[in-house]
Structure 1
Amino acid sequence: MLDDTASRPSHASSDHPVVTAPKVGVLLANLGTPDHYSYWPMRRYLNEFLSDTRVIDYPKWKWQPLLQAIILTKRPFSSGANYKSIWNETLNESPLMTITKQQTSALASRMQDAYGGRVMVDYCMRYGNPSTRSKVDAMVKAGCRKILFFPLYPQYAGATSATANDQFFRALMDQTWQPTARVVDPYFEHPRYIEALAQSVERGYAALSEHPDMLVVSYHGMPKRYLMQGDPYHCQCQKTTRLLRERLGWDESRITTTFQSVFGPEEWLKPYTVDHVADLARQGKKKIAVIAPAFSADCIETLEEINEEIRESFEHAGGESFTYIPCLNDDPAHVDALSAVIAENLGGWV
């Protein structure tokens, strides 16, 4: 348990504000989730997400009328249906929320074992609840004089890591007494992350009677224009795949990198997963497995898009065996990797 002792300095007057014992905060951040799959919660969530200029960088005068008048009128219904198909009805929350809570609990236990009550671990979402601002405020009130902000995106992208960082620093602007802050670097090549990925592939393959002809390593996509503007995401994805292949001891013919979740009319990073798996089936690759290393937790893009839409594309093209290898979630090897990243970034603080 955290030491929440608060007291006034011994030399202070009776009306001096109480001061909480200093702690270090570790704030995990993920993309976010609607509060429910019904229309209005979906609309609020999509409005916040699609209004982020890191995500959609079109001029506001051009984008907002289209978003408000057309997209947010229709899309909450289709997106809500997709969320409903994967919703955790028992806890009334999305799988991303459930898994993020499990990750936070596991990491909090690791930090308690390593540092006792000196480190507080919590989570926030860039969009939706719990908001970054609310969690930063809670950590400061709990006495965190230092906060390590950890966006749970292995590969950096402006539309994920950067916008999460933006929101964190906006939250700091609200604090009278700002804590010292650090942001965790992308961990796309961290040995323990690569090891956790490799172990998940080995477990997935061991459970099959026949090994797949191809492992499709599917990353969330982004407009190609962002790559040309200097975003390192594409390169970091390619390196993750290469390091995973090398750890598995495979040659290049057994693994391929693709990109999913294309949105809008412009060209995105290629090949597109949904098209490429169909091409593989037509080329005689009848058994494939798909893994999604860019996602730290299973979510709408993996449970619905990969395991339903992309699976369907493969099977309609003649594919016979489609295996989805789950995200690392709260797997012990993943918790080991995240704990190692946190420990490295807490150097000099605890």
Structure 2
Amino acid sequence: MTTTAPATAPATAPETAPETAPETAPDTAVLVVNLGTPEAPTPAAVRRYLGEFLSDPFVVQIPKLFWWPLLYGVILPLRSPRVAKKYAGIWMEGGSPLAVHTRRLAAALQPRLPEVAVLHAMRYGEPAQTARLRELEAAGVRRVLVLPLYPQYSSTTTGTVAALARCTRGSLDLRVIEDYATDPGWVEAVAGSIRAHWQANGRAERLLFSFHGLPQRLVDAGDPYETQCEASVAALARALSLGPDDYLLAYQSRFGRERWLGPATDDTLRGLAGSGVRTVDVVCPGFAADCLETLEEIAIENAELFHAAGGQALRYIPCLNDAPAHADALAALVRRELAAWDHVDAASS
């Protein structure tokens, strides 16, 4: 079986100094927010993280009376040791891949946005989003632009970041970038990473775009996530000059028994192998930074599944992480949003 090595930095890679709001803060700050991660690849740390994550009513929309006994009595005791073992297999010197890459991305944005302070936060875990906002407020920052690292909007991701930010902002003037699913700079950054992979490795028979799944009932209730995933794929297909038979879209990381968005990534890979396809490139454009769902679920677990079903090679194309093209695209997005905000402020003054 052949797989592409996960894009994790060497264990000796230098880390930037811890971020703090400067003593004399600029008027405006940018808070880059990702999902979150355990602090260590241990059952106890994973249990704390999953407990916070799966207790969020935006993520699991089941009444607490029914959900919490199941979560704390069954799911966390059984799931935490298994998930901790998976984290241990991808852990980096500076922490989990998601933590390391998010921190480095924020550091890459700062010199591109010298007029503002750039910090990162996690919706679940550390550094906590709420603590970061309080830190900025205490430093004298007046405005905070929140950039959730989710290109496609969902109430379960960007929606919960925005809701928490708005109810804990204190005296801060707050603005949230809700999506960048078809932003030209981001599309070109992802397309460029795919082209670079093809140049180095050749093209597989199919390109699979795999996004994190979502319960179908949320989409039926109006969540725009599926539409935005499809829009992202259409934009990337145009940028790469792909024909309709060159690529597929699927959804990974199902949880529980209810119906989720489909087709499922694992079923799609089985179907491709069964139809005679021997090589597949997989990219995950819904993830800004590599994490358990990309490095373990796709690059390891689904690669093994594809091989067992008759496939020869699943080559995983890494997330953008802190690549210069990614930082350039997000910096341009932030500058446009800040310019629009300045225009609104000027018009209202």
User: TM-score scaled to structure 2, two decimals?
Assistant: 0.90
Q: Choose which of 231, 249, 257 in structure 1 pairs with 2:241.
A: 249
Deviation at 1:4, TM superposition (A): 3.4
SS of residue matched to 1:37 = coil
Match of residue 139, structure 1, among 132, 136, 139: 136
Identity %, equivalent residues: 39
1:73-84 to structure 2, matched below 5 A, reads 73-84=77-88
Aligned to 1:327: 319
Residue aligning to 2:152: 155
Q: CA deviation at 1:38?
A: 1.1
Residue 61 of structure 2 is aligned to residue 57 of structure 1: yes
- Alignment of 1:229 onto 2:221: yes
Residue 109 of structure 1: how far off its partner (Å): 1.1
2:75, 2:241 → 1: CA distance? 46
Contact residue 45 and residue 128 of structure 1 kept, 8 A: yes
> Unpaired segments of 5 or more residues in structure 1?
6-20
Pairwise CA distance, 1:34: 0.6
CA RMSD of aligned residues (A): 1.4
What CA deviation, in whole Å up to 9, does each residue of 1:70-117 have, x standing for no partner? 1111111011011111011x22x10101001110000011111xx3xx
Task: Quote the residue 1:10 is aligned against.
Answer: none
Inter-partner Cα distance in structure 2 for 1:244 and 1:67: 38
Q: How far off is 1:3 after superposition?
A: 6.7
User: Amino acid of the residue matched to residue 215 of structure 2?
Assistant: P
> Match for residue 101 of structure 1?
103
Give 3-state SS (helix, strand or coil) of 2:327's partner.
helix
The 2-side partners of 1:215 and 1:3 are apart by 44
Contact 1:274–1:309, Cα closer than 8 Å, also in 2: no
3-state SS of the aligned residue for 2:321?
A: coil
Q: Aligned letter for 1:60?
A: K
**Residue type at the aligned position of 2:35:** L
Please say if residues 21 and 139 of structure 2, whose CA atoms lie closer than 8 Å, have aligned partners that are also in contact: no
**Matched letter for residue 66 of structure 2:** K
Q: Counterpart of 2:12?
A: none
CA contact (8 A) 1:132 1:171 kept: no
Instruction: Give a deviation string over 1:220-279, Cα, whole Å, max 9, x none.
Output: 001111110000000100011011001111111001100000000011000100111111
Tell me which residue corresponds to 2:73.
69
Q: Select 1:180's aligned residue among 166, 169, 173.
A: 173
Quick one: distance in 2 between partners of 1:152 and 1:50? 19
CA displacement 1:192-226 (0-9 Å, x = unmatched):
11101110110011111x42110000000011111
Partners of 2:26 and 2:117 within 8 A in 1: no
Q: What one-letter code is carried by the residue in structure 2 that aligns with 1:336? A: D
Match of 1:317 in 2: 309
For 2:59 and 2:76, how far apart are their aligned partners in 1? 16
Distance 1:42 1:211 in 2: 37
Q: Which residue of 1 aligns with 2:185?
A: 192
Count of residues in Structure 1 that have an aligned counterpart in Structure 2: 323
Unaligned runs of 5+ in 2: 1-19, 344-349
Counterpart of 1:260 in structure 2: which amino acid? Q
d(CA) in 2 for partners of 1:246, 1:333: 19
Shift of 1:37: 1.5
Q: CA deviation at 1:22?
A: 5.1
Give the whole-Å Cα distance in 1 for the aligned partners of 2:237 and 2:172: 41
Find the residue that maps to 2:223 and give its secondary structure: coil
> Aligned pair 1:121/2:118, yes or no?
yes
Q: Helix, strand or coil: the match of 1:189?
A: coil
- CA–CA distance in 2 between the matches of 1:46 and 1:27? 23
Distance 1:349 1:46 in 2: 39
1:236, 1:180 → 2: CA distance? 28
> Helix, strand or coil for the counterpart of 1:207?
helix
Q: What are the equivalent positions in structure 2 for 1:20-39 lying under 5 Å apart? A: 23-39=27-43
Change (3 A) 1:307 1:193: same
For 1:152-301, what aligned pairs fall within 5 Å after superposition? 152-172=149-169, 175=170, 178-208=171-201, 210-301=202-293
